[in-house]
Structure 1
């Protein structure tokens, strides 16, 4: 029997888009723990946010992917990663022409209270979301033309812009897909099931052995992916953790894995 690894996005996928609850997936997560199938959290969230959530889900012993692939959070209560990359990114933002910089409001530009309002997080949770080490998510409020110039200018500095579930995230090019395969190799897992809902999940979904696009009615659906035609990637009708559970159990059952 192949050794499976599950790699999952959080907001809008394993976590409900509006409430951030994972309750609808708890029964499936318990069965995965019993079957000793690791679940790797792969999110734009910081290490500070992921560590307590990972423990609450029962997978503190499994590495996680933080900040859209910016870094890997080792098992256990990891310390905050070195934030040199984030400082370099913020410096590049500060060098932009004023008209381009004005359209982007990053997490570091917001107070804890402003970020709480933008994300729906509690203020203490928003403080953890501001503890960036690798990337800078934010809201784009300028024109489409200015956004294209913003992205192109940052690309010349080696900074990529990726569209997530609700924010534009800036980083130095590492991806969830890259980290996913790194962790699979380190754990000796030869089959990967990936789940996500947003454009920044596409590379991860397309490079996994099996994958699911979890419905998110709060955003435009992803375009049809190549793996869908061959049945390697499926879509859920149900959103968030309910759709997540259905997809995990359906795909593993198709693969002969009983959970």
Structure 2
């Protein structure tokens, strides 16, 4: 059996506040000992992921970047940029009153992104090296968000809420990229872990989905897979909940 683990980062494998994955180390070690690839699936850019990917020792395993809009392959350049240019053009055409309540990474400095994310300024600079999507802070009303989405939809741009930010893209999701990588690596079984609405399709598409407890955002409402026992929730948040779920699933799978 070829098992692959797909995981969101912020608030899931990484602590929401500190960005540490230390509590998940026992589970990461257990996966490595079994030769189970860990595929990062994140809203982060390829530039950000490259640093984390190396620190985690993930070798040549690909990673899903910018919420599924692109795939990072170690040692290979990522083609792109046209998608981001199209999104920025759509934003320029949004009415002023709606544009004023969305502050995208492309609208501000590295210093401001550092304030928005809690990242160090040098890491925030990597977060602004976008190729496929545009995250930002939304401060408008629900009615304004509906209007904003409608306007963007005229350009083929979608807006998805993540753990921290509203992210604009051309519609490709983490689930799309997960299917591509799972087929490429010959996966017989998949585990997916996430904590926010932009993880929902990936969790539903996996053989085993894990909703990691999220005390800092909207989290996820009940999902179809939960009633069927295919999706579970953790008690602990972040990397501790991640580790608990992965170790429990490894134990269950090995007993099958």
User: Are 1:223 and 2:221 an aligned pair?
Assistant: yes
State the secondary structure of the residue aligned to 2:4.
strand
Q: Is the 8 A contact 1:51 1:78 kept in 2?
A: no
Q: Pick one of 203, 212, 215 that aligns with 1:205.
A: 203
Unaligned runs of 5+ in 1: none
2:112 aligns with: 114
Q: How does 1:30-49 map to 2 (within 5 A)?
A: 30-49=29-48
TM-score (norm 1): 0.96
Deviation at 1:20, TM superposition (A): 0.5
1:249 aligns with: 247
Deviation at 1:251, TM superposition (A): 1.2
State the secondary structure of the residue aligned to 2:249.
helix
Cα distance in 2 for residues equivalent to 1:40 and 1:148? 33
Cα distance in 1 for residues equivalent to 2:2 and 2:187? 5
State the secondary structure of the residue aligned to 1:255.
helix
Deviation at 1:81, TM superposition (A): 3.5
More off after superposition, 142-151 vs 178-187: 142-151
Q: Is the 8 A contact 1:51 1:60 kept in 2?
A: no
Deviations along 1:124-172, one digit per CA (max 9) or x if unpaired, are 0000000000000001112222111001110121111110001000000
User: Are 1:5 and 2:4 an aligned pair?
Assistant: yes
1:175 aligns with: 173
**Cα gap change, 1:147/1:169 in structure 2, threshold over 3 Å: closer, same or farther?**
same
1:52 aligns with: 51
Deviation at 1:257, TM superposition (A): 6.4
Cα distance in 2 for residues equivalent to 1:221 and 1:96? 28
Cα distance in 2 for residues equivalent to 1:253 and 1:196? 20
More off after superposition, 158-167 vs 217-226: 217-226
State the secondary structure of the residue aligned to 1:79.
coil
Cα distance in 2 for residues equivalent to 1:252 and 1:191? 12
2:187 aligns with: 189
TM-score (norm 2): 0.97
In the comparison of the two structures, how many residue pairs are matched? 256
Cα distance in 1 for residues equivalent to 2:179 and 2:129? 26
Deviations along 1:168-222, one digit per CA (max 9) or x if unpaired, are 0000010000100100000111111000000000000011000110001112331
Unaligned runs of 5+ in 2: none
Please provide the CA RMSD for this pair. 1.3
Cα distance in 1 for residues equivalent to 2:78 and 2:102? 25
Cα distance in 2 for residues equivalent to 1:123 and 1:80? 23
Cα distance in 2 for residues equivalent to 1:182 and 1:176? 10
Deviation at 1:80, TM superposition (A): 4.8
1:82 aligns with: 80
Q: How does 1:68-79 map to 2 (within 5 A)?
A: 68-74=67-73, 76-79=74-77
Cα distance in 2 for residues equivalent to 1:132 and 1:253? 39
More off after superposition, 65-74 vs 97-106: 97-106
